[in-house]
Structure 1
């Protein structure tokens, strides 16, 4: 069988460039990876909700499953959009349509794993948001990047990465999930133990809540001693882990 293809979904404030180190390692091992640009990050004017992100994810994956098995890797906020965008794209559903491929695994990397009907924040409020978030777009101060995203990287590396942070459209935080792909597709969660304590605790809570909510296919939880973005700080480890979860040899 041919190797599955990875689709890498970046989180809020980021662009596909954040995956460059991981893509290099995956390609060394003979795997293909696609990192679509999600419009809510860097859009000018800002988008009003996450529908454009959902459309990009669905169109990217829909094209690939015509011929390939696909593994979706979600980081941080894209767990919400990725989890809700994949209805009808799992392997069984694609097989019933006569397609050669389908989504065969989800990998959440310190990402939101949430049930149907979830919002980051109730519409019209700033609940659960950072103090400096304002309507329209949310810019991220470079001096906050290390604490928020890159806890295990040195200051020079963080300064370079912060240059690529994008304004984030505010409306996505009020959007609501309509589907939970982890109920239907085998799922791995990568738990980053060196993340912000509150973020790490939130991830554990989301996993426990999801498992208790009913049907699910959360098969494995992998812990790594890293900050919020192991695909940047530990690209070789991340690639090896993803390949292993894909059923490949490392």
Structure 2
């Protein structure tokens, strides 16, 4: 049976522990899965030096052992993760690697209420209404950090209360330069290699990234998407874990077929 490795790219403020339940569901389908903490969420590096491109470079470093081992990889990107994730996939598509005599590579992209980067001028900040941080996104200029205010409402509005409380406790500061620094290259989501292998999971009751904004981003991308809608907030991996796992499992069959 064809299978794939799933690499989860976290949202801003989020760490691998936020995706543990989803990982368990995916592994129950005999899928290999891993999640990495991005540098922009690290306490071990200077926040002022971070960028989506540095996150992308980190993702490539973590992706490289899997593709060099000949594995087919699908990126599951959540929210901000869509920006560095799709940037990291450039040059790692399976078709590109096969053309160069190598096995393995990224075979599909799944955006989970995730931002779609455009050209080299794209930033997370530019994707926000009015190109400015929202009232719930506090920019602490002294520490170069973005801090979410009332994250339970914006991230976990449809998540079971005890699960939401735990998720809030796991949140970490997000390096502000990763939101305001432009991408330094082209993203892979528009590549022909992902035609028929490009999925967008829309969340219809999202308080952080409203459905109207998701609709506009998908529409304005200029490419065709396999779109799935969930009656979920910004964290379907916590409120609709089984459904997200089912969607991923179904795409594995399509992408590897």
**TM-score normalised to structure 1 length:** 0.89
Cα distance between partner residues in 2 of 1:172 and 1:147: 23
Structure 1 residue 47, shift from structure 2 partner? 4.5
SS at match of 2:47: coil
Partner of 2:133: 129
Q: Does 1:181 align with 2:188?
A: yes
Cα distance between partner residues in 2 of 1:208 and 1:115: 13
Structure 1 residue 28, shift from structure 2 partner? 0.9
Alpha-carbon deviations, 1:156-180, whole Å to 9, x = none?
A: 3221110000011110111212212
Cα distance between partner residues in 1 of 2:87 and 2:181: 11
Partner of 2:174: 168
Structure 1 residue 52, shift from structure 2 partner? 2.9
**Structure 1 or 2: more helix by fraction:** 2
Cα distance between partner residues in 1 of 2:125 and 2:165: 29
SS at match of 2:54: helix
Alpha-carbon deviations, 1:69-119, whole Å to 9, x = none?
A: 100000001111112122111111010122221111100000001212211
Partner of 2:251: 245
Decide whether the 8 Å contact of 1:145 with 1:158 is kept in 2. no
Partner of 1:148: 154
Farther-moved stretch of structure 1 (172-181 vs 201-210): 172-181
Q: Does 1:9 align with 2:12?
A: no
Alignment length (residue pairs): 239
Alignment RMSD:
2.0
Structure 1 residue 2, shift from structure 2 partner? 4.3
Cα distance between partner residues in 2 of 1:154 and 1:241: 21
What does 1:1-250 correspond to in 2, within 5 Å? Answer: 2-44=2-44, 45-50=46-51, 51-66=53-68, 67-117=70-120, 118-121=122-125, 127-131=131-135, 132-135=138-141, 136-141=144-149, 144-177=150-183, 178-184=185-191, 185=194, 186-196=197-207, 199-211=210-222, 216=223, 218-247=224-253
Structure 1 residue 197, shift from structure 2 partner? 7.9
Farther-moved stretch of structure 1 (188-197 vs 87-96): 188-197
Gaps of 5+ in 1: none
Cα distance between partner residues in 2 of 1:179 and 1:197: 26
Cα distance between partner residues in 2 of 1:197 and 1:32: 29
